[in-house]
Amino acid sequence: MKRVLLWIGVGIGAAAAVALAILIFCTCTFGNHEYRAATCTEPEVCTRCGGTRGEPLGHEGGAASCTEPSVCIRCGERLGEPLGHVWLPATCTEPETCARCEATQGEPLGHVMTEPTYQTRATCTRCGFTEGEPLAPALAERTLNEMQVGVPVPYTTASYEDYGVDVTGTAEIVDYAVIEGNDTFPAREGYEWHIATVRLVFSGDDARKNGAQTAWTYGDFYILDDSMAARADENGLRPFAADWYGMRVQCWQKTGPYEEEDWFDRELRFSWQEGVLVPKGYDGVLLIFYNYRLAKDAARLYLPASDVLDDAVPVFRMK
Ligand SMILES: [Zn+2]
Ligand SMILES: [Zn+2]
Ligand SMILES: [Zn+2]
Ligand SMILES: [Zn+2]
Same domain membership, residue 258 and residue 210: yes
Same domain membership, residue 73 and residue 165: no
- Cα(45) to ligand 1 centroid in Å equals 8
Please report, to the nearest 10 degrees, the dihedral formed by the alpha carbons of residues 235, 173, 319, 282 taken in order: 10
Q: Containing domain of residue 297, as a range?
A: 145-317
Same domain membership, residue 175 and residue 91: no
- Cα(78) to ligand 2 centroid in Å equals 9
- Cα(40) to ligand 3 centroid in Å equals 29
Q: Residue 2's pLDDT is what?
A: 67
Same domain membership, residue 266 and residue 149: yes
Identify whether 12 is part of a domain. no
Percent helix / strand / coil, the chain, rounded to 5 = 15, 35, 50
Same domain membership, residue 71 and residue 157: no
- Cα(25) to ligand 1 centroid in Å equals 11
Identify whether 9 is part of a domain. no
Ligand showing the shortest atom-to-Cα distance for residue 60: 2
Ligand showing the shortest atom-to-Cα distance for residue 123: 4
Q: Residue 278's pLDDT is what?
A: 96
Q: What is the pTM of this model?
A: 0.73
Q: What are phi and psi of 244, to 5 degrees?
A: -130, 110
Same domain membership, residue 68 and residue 81: yes
Q: Residue 112's pLDDT is what?
A: 97
Identify whether 5 is part of a domain. no
Same domain membership, residue 213 and residue 197: yes
CA distances 70 to 101, 126, 192, 225, 286, Å, are 16, 40, 68, 72, 74
Query: Do the Cβ atoms of 313 and 289 come closer than 8 Å?
Result: yes
Same domain membership, residue 253 and residue 150: yes
Same domain membership, residue 123 and residue 103: no
Neighbours of ion ligand 4 (CB under 5 A): 92, 111, 124, 126-127, 129
pLDDT tens series, the chain, 319 aa: 566 666 777 777 777 777 766 766 677 878 888 999 999 999 999 998 889 999 999 999 889 999 999 999 999 999 999 999 999 999 999 999 999 999 999 999 999 999 999 999 999 999 999 999 999 999 999 999 999 999 999 999 999 988 889 999 999 999 999 999 999 999 999 999 999 999 999 998 888 888 999 999 988 999 887 666 677 888 899 988 888 999 989 999 999 999 988 898 889 999 999 999 999 999 999 999 999 999 888 887 778 888 899 999 999 999 9
Same domain membership, residue 272 and residue 295: yes
Identify whether 169 is part of a domain. yes
Ligand showing the shortest atom-to-Cα distance for residue 96: 3
Count of domains for the chain:
3
Q: Residue 124's pLDDT is what?
A: 97
- Cα(75) to ligand 3 centroid in Å equals 26
pLDDT in tens, 236-267: 999 888 889 999 899 999 999 999 888 988 89
- Cα(109) to ligand 3 centroid in Å equals 20
Ligand showing the shortest atom-to-Cα distance for residue 33: 1
Q: Residue 67's pLDDT is what?
A: 95
Neighbours of ion ligand 1 (CB under 5 A): 28, 33, 46, 48-49, 51
Same domain membership, residue 203 and residue 99: no
Identify whether 282 is part of a domain. yes
